[in-house]
């Protein structure tokens, strides 16, 4: 029987989750509970959402021509896709056999098991979130410490994997330029970091939290344009290619 995964949804035509045009497959289950999460409906796994590798592959291959024409491919996101490493490996093996680019959007909070290492092997590009460098602030923002995230980042470096770092700009947590400089200094020792993607905090997940019966925990407003520009400049001045994602 084909390997199965817990799939939340599949979106096509994304131009932001890796290079070119992409299909983005959202997997269920996440070890974090980020205060700013806009996908709280992916936190838990539902048996009714199980789908086989073959089914998901068939869906993804419908857009094969678009991937090739645009230099795109398939991105796994979530939730946390590495919570289902066997599914990730199996799907990505099939895609790579057809020369389709594979990307993985991850929070990096994983144990380096043989299954996770195999999933890493099958991934061309990592979109890795750095929620915060400070362990206490990281715990406050996500509910978990950040040691595993940095162990994972070091592993990607050792494997020579291409990485885009994603940083959510949350006022009061990650929007001062001194902190941005700290992150830039930290990332300088990771030569395979190809891009920094800044994601200004937005409140679009709020209604999902309320619908699920959760109390939305953040009371801050999205950062203003000047703040985002100043942070962008810090990373650019440190030699990084920076992309600012629109909500
Ligand atoms: S890691 Fe992503 S999916 Fe998980 S809680 Fe944080 S923002 Fe939400």
Reading the block at residue 118, the tokens are 């195999």
Nearest to 132 by CA among 186, 53, 191: 186
Q: Which atom number of ligand 1 is nearest to the Cα of residue 107?
A: 1
Q: Which atom number of ligand 1 is nearest to the Cα of residue 109?
A: 1
pLDDT > 70? residue 72: yes
- CA–CA distance, 177 with 236 (Å, rounded to integer): 12
Across the range 217-239, mean pLDDT stands at 97
Which of 76, 78, 143, 214 to mutate for ligand 1's pocket (most ligand atoms within 8 Å of CB)? 78
pLDDT at residue 246, as a whole number = 78
- Structural fold of domain 4-244: TIM Barrel (3.20.20)
| β 242-244/193-200 pair status | parallel
With a 6 A CB cut-off, is 119 part of the ligand 1 pocket? no
- DSSP 8-state class, residue 216: P
From the CA of 21, how far away is ligand 1's center (Å)? 23
Across the range 88-113, mean pLDDT stands at 98
From the CA of 227, how far away is ligand 1's center (Å)? 23
Residue 196 binned pLDDT confidence (cut-offs 50, 70, 90):
very high
Contact 12, 75 (CB under 8 A): no
Q: CB-hemisphere CA count at 13 Å for 34? A: 28
Boundaries of every domain in the chain: 4-244
Atom 3 of ligand 1, nearest CA residue? 79
pLDDT > 90? residue 48: no
Q: Helices (H), strands (E): how many in the chain?
A: 9, 9
Residue 247 binned pLDDT confidence (cut-offs 50, 70, 90):
low
From the CA of 130, how far away is ligand 1's center (Å)? 11
From the CA of 1, how far away is ligand 1's center (Å)? 30
With a 6 A CB cut-off, is 18 part of the ligand 1 pocket? no
Residue-averaged pLDDT of the chain: 96
Region of residue 160 (phi > 0: left; psi between -120 and 50: alpha; otherwise: beta):
left
With a 6 A CB cut-off, is 33 part of the ligand 1 pocket? yes
- CA–CA distance, 180 with 202 (Å, rounded to integer): 19
Across the range 102-107, mean pLDDT stands at 98
pLDDT at residue 2, as a whole number = 82
From the CA of 29, how far away is ligand 1's center (Å)? 9
- DSSP 8-state class, residue 211: H
- Displacement of CA 126 from its chain's centroid (Å): 8
From the CA of 120, how far away is ligand 1's center (Å)? 20
pLDDT > 80? residue 1: no
């Amino acid at each position: 029987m084909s390997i199965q995964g817990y799939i939340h949804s599949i979106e096509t035509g994304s131009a932001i989750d890796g290079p070119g045009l992409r299909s983005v497959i959202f997997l269920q289950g996440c070890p974090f509970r980020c205060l700013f999460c806009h996908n709280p409906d992916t936190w838990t796994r539902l048996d009714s959402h199980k789908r086989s590798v073959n089914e998901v592959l068939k869906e993804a291959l419908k857009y094969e021509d678009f991937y090739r024409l645009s230099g795109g491919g398939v991105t796994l996101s979530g939730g946390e896709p590495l919570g289902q490493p066997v599914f990730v490996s199996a799907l990505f093996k099939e895609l790579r056999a057809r020369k389709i680019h594979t990307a993985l959007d991850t929070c990096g909070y994983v144990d380096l098991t043989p299954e996770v290492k195999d999933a890493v092997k099958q991934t061309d590009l990592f979109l890795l979130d750095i929620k915060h460098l400070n362990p206490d602030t990281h715990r406050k923002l996500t509910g978990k410490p950040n040691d595993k995230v940095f162990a994972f980042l070091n592993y990607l470096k050792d494997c020579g994997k291409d990485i885009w770092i994603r940083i959510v700009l949350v006022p009061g947590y990650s929007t001062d330029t001194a902190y941005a400089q700290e992150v830039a200094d930290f990332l300088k020792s990771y030569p395979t970091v190809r891009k920094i993607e800044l994601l200004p905090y937005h409140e679009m997940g709020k209604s999902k939290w309320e619908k699920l019966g959760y109390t939305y925990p953040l009371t801050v407003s999205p950062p203003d344009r000047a703040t985002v520009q100043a942070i962008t400049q810090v990373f650019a001045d440190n030699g990084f290619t920076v992309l600012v994602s629109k909500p």
